[in-house]
Amino acid sequence: MFHKEGFKIILITFVSVIVSFLIVDNFVSILWLRYLLFFTLLTFLILILQFFRNPKRNGILNEDQVLSPVDGKVVVIEEVFEKEYFNDKRLQVSVFMSPINVHVTRYPIGGKVVFSKYHPGKFLVAWHPKASEENERTTVVVENNKQIKVLHRQIAGALAKRIVNYAKVGDDAVQASDSGFIKFGSRVDLFLPLGTKINVSLNDKVKGGESIIAEL
């Protein structure tokens, strides 16, 4: 299954690869070069298909648990001052995505979307200390039935040139369902209440919609 954000790109890539195959087949007579170009085109198509895949996830939904919003590696676990929405201290957990990870962003908790904002910005590498404040990003806050709020922030990286955010204020957020998509590598930050039990460690690999990041 592929994500809807990739349908247009997949179609364009598929047509381009087919046309390129025909051109190579008709105009490249050197056998080894022809096979090399065939292999390169096929590899490119496979990479595009892999990037936009949208596998079904079977996480157990629980309002007392925070699921990972994306696939990737945990690169930050620290107490920080969150100044965009909460204006107080929070526990930050950040997950970095490589270009080969699934790039669907999922709601970490269920509830009501109470804040959603897009910020234009730079395209610093995702692990840059100022990326969370200066890069293109979106901030979404969901409040669950127990009035606990969790913020997740999509952050563009050096390769990510488009962030898609589906969350609108007032929407019902279903835990583990799609809240957005980031194209070509980036990271997502989670901001959790102090005292939250963190269930992951630095460098852990996590799966969006399945891995339990924390317990509220």
The per-residue pLDDT for range 28-65, each reduced to its tens digit, is 888 899 899 999 999 988 888 877 777 777 777 888 99
Catalytic residue among 179, 186, 201, 211: 186
Min mean pLDDT across 17-31, 71-85, 127-141, 175-189 is at 127-141
How does pLDDT run across 56-109, given as a tens digit for each residue? 777 778 889 999 999 999 999 999 999 999 999 999 999 998 877 888 899 999
Distances (CA, A) of 55 to 2, 49, 52, 60: 8, 12, 10, 16
In the chain, where the domains are located? 4-51, 65-215
Residue-averaged pLDDT of the chain: 87
Mean pLDDT across 125-149: 79
**161 pLDDT more than 60:** no
Position 190 pLDDT exceeds 70: yes
Can you tell me whether residue 50 is helix, strand or coil? helix
Per-residue DSSP letter, 4: G
- DSSP at 135: B
Three-state DSSP class for 144? coil
65-215 domain in CATH 2.70.70.10? Answer: yes
Q: Which is more confident, 120 or 166? A: 166
94 is annotated as an active-site residue: no
Quick one: pLDDT at residue 202? 96
Structure tokens given for 210: 């399945």
Phi, psi of 56 (to 5 degrees): -70, 135
8 Å CB contact between 51 and 155: no
